[in-house]
Amino acid sequence: MAGGPTVTSKRVLVVDDDVKTVELVKLYLNRDGYRVLTACDGTEALRLAREAHPDLIVLDLMLPGMDGLEVCRTLRDESDVPVILLTAKTTDQDKINGLSSGADDYVTKPFSPRELAARVRAVLRRLPGERGPSEIRHSELTVNFRKHEASLGSRSLNLTPVEFRLLGVMVKEPGRVFTREQLIDTALGYDFEGFNRTIDVHILNLRRKLGSDQSQPEYIKTVYGAGYKLSEETSDT
């Protein structure tokens, strides 16, 4: 290809105990211009994540010793780095468990390395601040797009990138009903096949962090048969 790959400063940590998988993923990500770090187990993954501060982590679910779910939960306690899980498990519950642990997305094995690379691009493309207001206040909720931070009163919300994007799009238009498909497009940024419950899991996690009563959510409301919306009760920005 003329000119070679686009040079980027983005670093991606790839974690898998299968050397061939690691090398294949690394090859495709290198072609896209990413700097790739690799690890073969959960302990090494956490060490590199803490020391190198990657921009995104591709994390295999089935790892020796500390598995991918435990690694993901530990990462979520420490940072909001985006995580894409690689999983050979294909049931909806397996996927829900992965997303509930704090992962932003999942790719089912066997997978296309081109698809994985596309998902990495999609997630990283949405990390910078968005156009529009730098900060929006909605009742006790504050969303700062420039700093990529959200808080409820004086309490900081430790949101994943997907959760932040979901909250961000809804807080811009309180009262508007967003379908699952619209939220998938906004938060995940690619043609998503079939598993609409993905958004339901992210919304559930977001509600938990907002501290809402699950039977009567204060901020995010379910519109049955339609989707989700942010309640319209708000204070001026």
Write the pLDDT tens digit of every residue in 108-137: 888 888 889 988 888 887 765 444 568 888
Residues 162-187: tens digit of each pLDDT: 888 889 889 888 888 988 888 877 76
The answer for residues whose C-beta is within 8 angstroms of residue 211's C-beta and 6 or more apart is 152
The token pair at 120 is: 């990495």
Q: Which of 73, 101, 125 is the last residue of a domain?
A: 125
CATH code for position 16: 3.40.50.2300
What's the domain range around 166? 135-230
Write the burial class of residue 143 (CB in 10 Å: 0-12 exposed, 13-18 middle, 19+ buried): buried
Q: Which of 101, 125, 149 is the last residue of a domain?
A: 125
Identify whether 185 is part of a domain.
yes
Q: How confident is the model at residue 103 (pLDDT cuts 50, 70, 90)?
A: confident
Contact 30, 8 (CB under 8 A): no
- In this predicted model, which residue has the larger pLDDT, 169 or 198? 169
44 and 147, same structural domain? no
Number of domains in the chain: 2
Contacts 24+ apart (CB under 8 A), 62-67: 62/17, 62/87, 62/88, 63/15, 63/16, 63/17, 64/17, 65/41, 66/41, 66/42, 67/42
34 and 109, same structural domain? yes
pLDDT at residue 50 tops 50: yes
The token pair at 201 is: 């899991």
> What's the rounded mean pLDDT across residues 208-228?
78
CATH code for position 163: 1.10.10.10
Q: How confident is the model at residue 8 (pLDDT cuts 50, 70, 90)?
A: low
Q: How confident is the model at residue 191 (pLDDT cuts 50, 70, 90)?
A: very low
Residues 88-98: tens digit of each pLDDT: 876 677 777 77
**Measured distance CA(173)–CA(130) in Å, rounded:** 15
- In this predicted model, which residue has the larger pLDDT, 4 or 60? 60
